[in-house]
Structure 1
Amino acid sequence: MLRPSFVWLILGFTFLLPAGAANLTDGWRDPSPNFLQNAYIVELYTPDALQSIAGLGTRVLTSPHDVLYKRLEERGIEYSIRSVFDDAAFLGVSLQLTSSLYVQSLASIHDIKSLYPVQLWQRPSPQNVQVLAGTSGADCPPDGMSALQMIGVDKLHAQGYLGKGVTVCVIDTGVDYSHPYLGSGFGPGHKVAFGYDFVGDSFNGSNTPHPDPDPLDQCAGHGTHVAGIIGANPGNPYGFSGVAYESTLGAYRIFGCTGTTPDDIIIAALLRANKDKCNVLNLSLGSRSGWSSAPSAVVASRIADMGKIVSISAGNDGSYGPWDASNPATGLNVISVASVQNTRILVQNLTVVGAAHGPIFYWGLDPLNLPQPDYPYDTPLSIYALSTNTSVVGDGCSPLPDSTPNLNGKVVLVRRGQCLFTTKLANIAAKGGNVTLIYDNIVETLWSPPVAPYIATIISPSDGEFLVKQFAAGIDIKVVFHKGGISSTTPSLDGGLVSSFTSYGPTNDMFFKPAVAAPGGNIISTYPVALGSYAINSGTSMAAPMVSGASALLFEKLGTTRSVARRARKLFETTALAIPSDKTGSSPLQTLAQQGAGLINVYNALSYGTTLTPGELLLNDTAHFSGTKILNLRNEGKRRQSYTLSHVPAGTINTIRGDGFQPVLGPIPLTTDYANVTIIPSSISLSPGATAKILVIVDPPKTGVHTLFPVYSGFIQVRGSLGEDLHSSYLGLNANSFDLKVIDSTSYYFGYRLPALWDSKGKVQAPGQAYALQGNDAPTLVYRLAAGTAALYVDLVSANTTFAPSIMKRDGVFEREWWPPGNVLPAAGKVAIVGRLSAFYYRPRNVDASYQSGGYNLVPITSRFANSTQIPKGNYKVLVRALKITGNPKEESSYESWLSTPFAVV
């Protein structure tokens, strides 16, 4: 969604480098460990574009790459080539510089279109992984097709649409194509017909890759699970099949057995898949961002625009709250996919002895591995409840009292909440308890909690409360764990709801992410033979291939044309099913910032004779509000149809807490502060082939608190007389994005106000402290971002610099509140800086996790500026400036700023 002052951000998708713009990247350096030092992706102009740039001299006769190499040689830049990109979707090269000294010189080259630092991406990590232990009897789940039934695939299979003639390419950890239900081979004639390994087994992100033509994975498993969701053959022991099991698969391995991968390898895989004429590309990977800025997102978006369908997982960071859309799913033309819980789950059964009660379920393919001989199987084990109050807060969070009996041999009951699971279990273990049942305090959902190295599992609130009440009444209540387990499937109590782990959007620039949802919670699929052959995983990684498979069915029926590819997201969005926030039906629909346009139904998408465009109505924020929209409703069927139109609101989410700095953590509560919508006309009848324009006027909610930055959303629903229900989705911010506070100036985490300078001992430095800038004798800047920023600068200024930064302090002690000053910094470029320490672009906000990776940022101050020149002796302050969302990068008033206490370099 372009805003006039924001165009420079969209054009380059990072910092744009037009001719003579070296100052924009002057001294660019990023000490963060998730970037490769001195490695850069360079995008080049095409020959025609290069020729059109004024002042570049005579006609360019050589290739853009050769021109770049010549410029590098002219400047004496020492480098090696990591990758060469020569594709219509991306023309450029990835370079490894021998020194940061060359960055400024590299950025000054006129022939460069854009410059990106090379980022390291974490390998995909599903929320739960359970490998199936057997293929018959109790271990064999009786229903493997529920996820496909949720999205209408079973109906298309019955009509003979199985993906034949469509190629779907998996960019992931590789695929174990030796699996009997993935074709038992590789190459022409096999299910996995082509692909490439860009890395090799031993690659971990920091060493040398060893590419080869064979994308076999027998050590990771993620890509094999994804491939099975798309294309696993039916007839396997667990009764499931891929969504498009007659499609042809391509496999592109970009991760080794361990570690990370750089995004220049992701780009190489995207371009290779595009060159290999893949119809559908699946990327079940991502990185927290909030911006459409990663080069892989840019390339994926361009490939989608060229006529491919690109399906990408929306991210598994829902617990971190809003404004956290994941790259590369933030690509403007790709399909970002949220996860919905499967309607059925695999469970183990406990038998209750001593009271009339049915079996108690806990999530799992296998029974708990009880410590023997103290906890024998098939034997009633006594219960001990830590508290007889089923509303207790912080149950087990403190050391247990001395009156607690020896818990060895007893099954301990503890209520979830208030502290880490492992804290509760450590306190229980201190009293001898070795097996624990944790009853949930939120929902009846069963799931696998992070309890290692302890033995524990989650049971439902109702089952837990029943056991506690029996224990409190003095009844000798016991439970039995059965050897070998009693496995079954049961309707999932949160089946059909958005998975709580799904990342929340929208993007910082108010784009609609995620786009749609698909089943991703508790999905059974193939796994490398050496690792067990079959597994159940959860994650948006599992939802994306559902959409990829559905896209193959769409291509099979409608044809693999560019026009079909560019219609795919709209078709999936407008025929999706709105997702509730709970099973009661009394609560608001889930916010579209997490569900997107809803749960896809590919059968509806391909069978409806009515179309509705656009699929997304982007309303923006209050300062850039665009509330008047036109919908195009067309009857492409063979019968006349009447339609009624109505407004269906979804829950509004307050995204920022009352302190103005901390995001609301997920799952985010919903409010009924709905928008007011006028639809003209509210009913219409269309003959076959007829089109009508529908006027939609959206007014932001009249209630709510702007300083909590409410995101409101909902649907314009169209209900046809022939049973065709469609909708167009809207989303807006009932506040001004510019007012989002970017730099966290609270004491929320550290007990003192941020930002701050730490001395060599990690303490807040005293004003005037002196440093040699050698070894540990140097200060470190610590800061947090409460919101994303497109540009953040860290500079040294003279100690006698005087101006009023936007984050105020008094006598070196930060006050509890901050306020905008009456006067602001002078215009950009007029602040006298001694030198740049660091510059960062398109940074996500920090997560709400103190003292953990991503919770805060450190910038060590070394003896040199970012351009490698020496910092002279003298008295300085550190100036931090962060561009506010929608701010004009050329206006200093668009930046938040902070000025440190003075220090000396001696």
Structure 2
Amino acid sequence: MSSAAKDSPSSSKLDTPLFNAFVPGRYMFEFGGSDADTDGKKVLDLLKGKFNQDADFSLDRIFDHEFIKGATFQIDQKKNHDSVYENIVKAVSDSGLVSKVYPVRLIERPKTFSSSSSSSDGATDLSRLIPHAQTQVDRVHKELKNTGKGITVGIIDSGIDYMHPALGGGFGEGYKVRYGRDLAGDEYDGAGQFGSTTPKPDDDPLDNCPPSFSGPGGHGTHVAGIIAGKADNFTGVAPDSTLGMWRIFGCNSLGSGEDLITQALLEAYDAGVDIISMSVGGLSGWNETSTARVAAHITAQGVPVVISAGNSGDLGVFTMSDGPLGEGVFGVASFDNDYKYVTTVKVGGSSASYGYSKTDDTIPNGQLVAGDKNAGSGSDACDASTVPKNVKGKLALVQSTHACPPNLQAGNLEKAGAIGIVFFGLNDMVIPPQTELANIPTVGIAQEAGQSLLAIIEKEVKVSLTFNIEKEFYRIPTGNTVSSFSSMGPSNELALSPAISGVGGYIISTLPQTIGSWGMMSGTSMAAPYVSGSIALYLKSLEGKKTTPAYVLEQFSNYAYKAPSDNTKDDVETPCRQGAGLVQVYDAIKQQVHVAPAAISFNDTANLLKTHTLTITNHGDSIASYELYNNVSVSIIPYAGNNDFQFTEPATFGTEAAKLKFSKKTIKLSPGKSVQVKVTVMPPKTNPAEHIMYSGYVQLTSGTKENKDITVPYVGIVGNQRDIPVFGQGTPILTNGTGPNVPVFGPNDTYVFDRSDVIQPIISAYLNVPAKEIKFPLFNDNGKEIGRAFSDANLYSRSYGGQPSISMKWNGTYLPTVFDIEFPLAVSLLPGEYHLGISVLKWLGNPDDEKDWETWASGPIQIK
């Protein structure tokens, strides 16, 4: 063994980062010139001329658009060493043709929860499952006779079964689905694991993937039905609107390249759609990704872009997808529906029953026992030794966990003789277990249901379960509040996000006919099209009058419904979860008093934007009067304490509140008049080291019956985000592997690196904070920086779920620095002693200020 692992003083659990993933070999080159086609060919010639022996090159995609000039290249290396890519990127950066070079991010396919499908659902009275009463869409349809006719919504998703009767039965001129194309092809997989990373586009966005494929599962068809589905027993939000579909996922796709998403945005805009709806996004939290930048450009040109916030609410704050963080973009959170249509399980000897989601119809009735000796521990049945013997012949109750995959849990319980498994979740969602490899049946129930059953079992009371196969209507306890899965803001730069909410929990809609025609899904993926359809109704109500996306967002925000944090509590949910609140479409259309901007961000107290100005305008024909007050929401306590600065997952809430001072406490507005009110914040006097996140709403309480109350959300943080240590969880570390119990080489341990060995040193780091810029300096034995071990990185998310954000394997090459100039090509190091480093720009730091960088260096690495 070439490295001194046996002498290592400690070990650590280390896994590959879950986020910040890229399409293998795909790079985006943005050009400074005006002719992307010419510049792309020049770069291709440069690459082939300099690096033909090292790699194969192909020009994959040209972006010659007013919003972006660039090209993506596929680079497949011939020589098996990491420095090939480093050399290419550096050479192209130095060519003068390119303004930016970055790997193409892999955007995971949309993940939804509580999905079920059945062709029989289409024959059921679904009126109680359609959430239009929660959003006033029912009033817009009935009282205003507005169904969105003449408005076109472009969707970017997994394709569409346009042959579905509720979606028009065809594609092209004269049909509901009139625009779009397939940018991916059935065999495309951006990850390269279950298909080709090379797209095969065509002009048909049809999703007719076989049911056996594990791809997006009819996601795009479901989204389309929410917006514009129309059947005898089903009505979408804007049922007479026109649709376009740009398909970006293959049938078995793990994800899509961000270049395809950028292309789809540009094509939808060029097609002349009125609204773009996208339920796709990467988890970086920065507004500088290509998706966020292009979406912002499109919005600035007058086309609202609506993007889902993401489904990472269980991971706490700062979990927004990056797309909805683009300036002016509608970032959409999710509320739960009031009702769902579910199968239920009855508990013997009591009146209790719970909704459950099944993976098949074979789950037997029987006695339920705990499936782990310490059930609910966070690692139930991950180890066969913790499975009790009494599960044999019985149903086993275990909690879903991030500690191991559900297939492993199922395998351990199956070996112990369990006849079925009841998984209870990590939140209030009823989620079908992902146990496709299990040989025994499995079902999922909500966290609260599982905890209740576990409490009975722990009292040594026999619990018998009877599973009902027939579905029934079930009132959801969390109805009309924020869905537990909905991602939380603010943005990494502390802008208030999400912007607004739609209904996305337990939504019935269309599915491809190959997988049942109708089904229920949950996710912000469902909330975004709900808002898109709502905007279609609003634009239709204008009857051709001009407006701007900013005005539309402000109007929806002004009159949104603000939910409590829980239906049993008399409080207000934080706008970091619900944004302005749930859309109220009738009020947004009919109310004539308007307040701008849509939201206020006070920043942290070290960079406090203390005073903001609201402009209130009366577009009506009668006098309007209001009294202003501070409607505080719950606060967020982001850290668990102990100065480890690890975000609580899920978030923890408190009652800390800011005070607001208004330049005018009451206002009276004549028709056609405007008034400005200054809002000044006095943050709560909490310990700055706790970084409490305070929030609420500026509320304008109406003094007249015809005018509704108006609100504007705000958020701020007590403390200086720059003070938070960059690294956490005992990292960075130097190691040589991934997985549990890897060796860790401390500052006094020498890592002996024989470059002929297949085992290479790895540096890994858990980031307490999101990182806008990361550098990887290499130091000699005297501690002098001599170059870079890897190319610089940027726009990294914070670490989630205990996983590191950075994990880099080093092959013993570097990019030398001579007189502060980086050498264009990576070279092999001479034998000797070196130290790998990681240098990260502090949160909200100034990259030109050395004090705003936090740097770590490894112990000595002896290269042979």
Per the normalisation by structure 1, the TM-score is 0.81
What is the CA–CA distance in structure 2 between the aligned matches of 1:864 and 1:389, rounded to whole Å? 48
SS in 2 for 1:93: strand
For 2:630, the equivalent position in structure 1 comes to 647
Moved more, 577-586 or 419-428: 419-428
Counterpart check, 1:85 vs 2:57: no
What is the CA–CA distance in structure 1 between the aligned matches of 2:450 and 2:442, rounded to whole Å? 19
**In structure 2, do the counterparts of structure 1 residues 154 and 857 end up closer, same or farther at CA, with 3 Å as the change threshold?**
same
Unaligned runs of 5+ in 2: 1-16, 52-56, 77-83, 210-215, 816-824
Cα deviation for residue 337 of structure 1 reads: 0.5
What is the CA–CA distance in structure 1 between the aligned matches of 2:403 and 2:60, rounded to whole Å? 46
Q: Residue type matched to 1:888 in 2? A: N
* Pairing partner for 1:658 from 622, 636, 641: 641
Cα deviation for residue 522 of structure 1 reads: 0.8
For 1:828, the equivalent position in structure 2 comes to none
What is the CA–CA distance in structure 1 between the aligned matches of 2:543 and 2:572, rounded to whole Å? 35
Counterpart check, 1:481 vs 2:459: no
Counterpart check, 1:557 vs 2:551: no
- 8 Å Cα contact 1:170-1:252 kept in structure 2: yes
Cα deviation for residue 529 of structure 1 reads: 0.8
Give deviations 1:582-630, integer Å, cap 9, x for gaps. Answer: 01123x4222212111111111111111111111111111111012121
Moved more, 112-121 or 626-635: 112-121
For 2:818, the equivalent position in structure 1 comes to none
- 8 Å Cα contact 2:129-2:339 kept in structure 1: no
Cα deviation for residue 481 of structure 1 reads: 3.1
What is the CA–CA distance in structure 1 between the aligned matches of 2:761 and 2:401, rounded to whole Å? 39
**In structure 2, do the counterparts of structure 1 residues 38 and 519 end up closer, same or farther at CA, with 3 Å as the change threshold?**
same
* Pairing partner for 1:227 from 224, 227, 232: 224
Matches for 1:718-867 after TM superposition, within 5 Å: 718-720=700-702, 721-722=704-705, 723-744=707-728, 746-747=729-730, 753-758=731-736, 763-765=743-745, 767-801=749-783, 832-850=785-803, 855-865=804-814, 867=825
Counterpart check, 1:363 vs 2:356: yes
For 1:884, the equivalent position in structure 2 comes to 842
What is the CA–CA distance in structure 2 between the aligned matches of 1:304 and 1:507, rounded to whole Å? 18
What is the CA–CA distance in structure 2 between the aligned matches of 1:320 and 1:486, rounded to whole Å? 34
For 2:241, the equivalent position in structure 1 comes to 247
Counterpart check, 1:175 vs 2:160: yes
SS in 1 for 2:727: coil
**In structure 2, do the counterparts of structure 1 residues 764 and 691 end up closer, same or farther at CA, with 3 Å as the change threshold?**
same
Give deviations 1:682-702, integer Å, cap 9, x for gaps. Answer: 222222212222221111111
- 8 Å Cα contact 1:317-1:503 kept in structure 2: yes
Q: Residue type matched to 2:786 in 1? A: I
The structure richer in strand per residue is 2
- 8 Å Cα contact 1:85-1:91 kept in structure 2: yes
Cα deviation for residue 224 of structure 1 reads: 0.8
What is the CA–CA distance in structure 2 between the aligned matches of 1:568 and 1:338, rounded to whole Å? 17
For 1:513, the equivalent position in structure 2 comes to 497
For 1:630, the equivalent position in structure 2 comes to 613
What is the CA–CA distance in structure 1 between the aligned matches of 2:650 and 2:608, rounded to whole Å? 27
Cα deviation for residue 836 of structure 1 reads: 3.7
- 8 Å Cα contact 1:506-1:513 kept in structure 2: yes
SS in 2 for 1:302: helix
Cα deviation for residue 566 of structure 1 reads: 3.0
**In structure 2, do the counterparts of structure 1 residues 457 and 245 end up closer, same or farther at CA, with 3 Å as the change threshold?**
same
**In structure 2, do the counterparts of structure 1 residues 486 and 856 end up closer, same or farther at CA, with 3 Å as the change threshold?**
same
Cα deviation for residue 491 of structure 1 reads: 1.4
Matches for 1:867-906 after TM superposition, within 5 Å: 867-906=825-864
For 1:809, the equivalent position in structure 2 comes to none
SS in 2 for 1:245: coil
Moved more, 640-649 or 30-39: 30-39
- 8 Å Cα contact 1:400-1:431 kept in structure 2: no
Matches for 1:675-694 after TM superposition, within 5 Å: 675-694=658-677
Cα deviation for residue 840 of structure 1 reads: 0.9
For 2:213, the equivalent position in structure 1 comes to none
Give deviations 1:168-213, integer Å, cap 9, x for gaps. Answer: 0111111111111111111100011121111210111243211111
- 8 Å Cα contact 1:346-1:365 kept in structure 2: no
For 2:93, the equivalent position in structure 1 comes to 107
- 8 Å Cα contact 1:558-1:564 kept in structure 2: no
What is the CA–CA distance in structure 2 between the aligned matches of 1:299 and 1:351, rounded to whole Å? 51
Cα deviation for residue 553 of structure 1 reads: 0.9
- 8 Å Cα contact 2:799-2:805 kept in structure 1: yes
For 1:582, the equivalent position in structure 2 comes to 566
For 2:697, the equivalent position in structure 1 comes to 715
Cα deviation for residue 427 of structure 1 reads: 7.0
For 1:211, the equivalent position in structure 2 comes to 201
- 8 Å Cα contact 2:313-2:484 kept in structure 1: yes
- 8 Å Cα contact 2:380-2:399 kept in structure 1: yes
- 8 Å Cα contact 1:773-1:861 kept in structure 2: no
What is the CA–CA distance in structure 2 between the aligned matches of 1:463 and 1:887, rounded to whole Å? 44
What is the CA–CA distance in structure 2 between the aligned matches of 1:143 and 1:202, rounded to whole Å? 38
For 2:296, the equivalent position in structure 1 comes to 301
Give deviations 1:427-477, integer Å, cap 9, x for gaps. Answer: 76566442455678976x755455663524426857975897699697x87
What is the number of residues matched between the two proteins?
A: 801
SS in 2 for 1:264: helix
- 8 Å Cα contact 1:655-1:664 kept in structure 2: yes
**In structure 2, do the counterparts of structure 1 residues 769 and 602 end up closer, same or farther at CA, with 3 Å as the change threshold?**
same
What is the CA–CA distance in structure 2 between the aligned matches of 1:320 and 1:683, rounded to whole Å? 41
For 1:200, the equivalent position in structure 2 comes to 185
Cα deviation for residue 564 of structure 1 reads: 3.0
Per the normalisation by structure 2, the TM-score is 0.85
Cα deviation for residue 834 of structure 1 reads: 3.8
Cα deviation for residue 654 of structure 1 reads: 1.7
What is the CA–CA distance in structure 2 between the aligned matches of 1:625 and 1:218, rounded to whole Å? 53
Matches for 1:374-523 after TM superposition, within 5 Å: 375=365, 381=366, 408=393, 410=394, 432-435=417-420, 448=432, 453=438, 454-458=441-445, 461=448, 465=452, 478-482=464-468, 485-523=469-507
For 2:26, the equivalent position in structure 1 comes to 39
* Pairing partner for 2:688 from 700, 706, 715: 706
Q: Residue type matched to 2:733 in 1? A: P
RMSD: 3.4
Give deviations 1:300-340, integer Å, cap 9, x for gaps. Answer: 11011111010001011112221222121221221111111
Give deviations 1:828-849, integer Å, cap 9, x for gaps. Answer: xxx6324442321111112123
Cα deviation for residue 394 of structure 1 reads: 9.1
* Pairing partner for 1:128 from 111, 114, 136: 114
What is the CA–CA distance in structure 2 between the aligned matches of 1:192 and 1:630, rounded to whole Å? 43
For 2:80, the equivalent position in structure 1 comes to none
For 1:53, the equivalent position in structure 2 comes to none
What is the CA–CA distance in structure 2 between the aligned matches of 1:279 and 1:673, rounded to whole Å? 42
Provide the identity percentage. Answer: 29
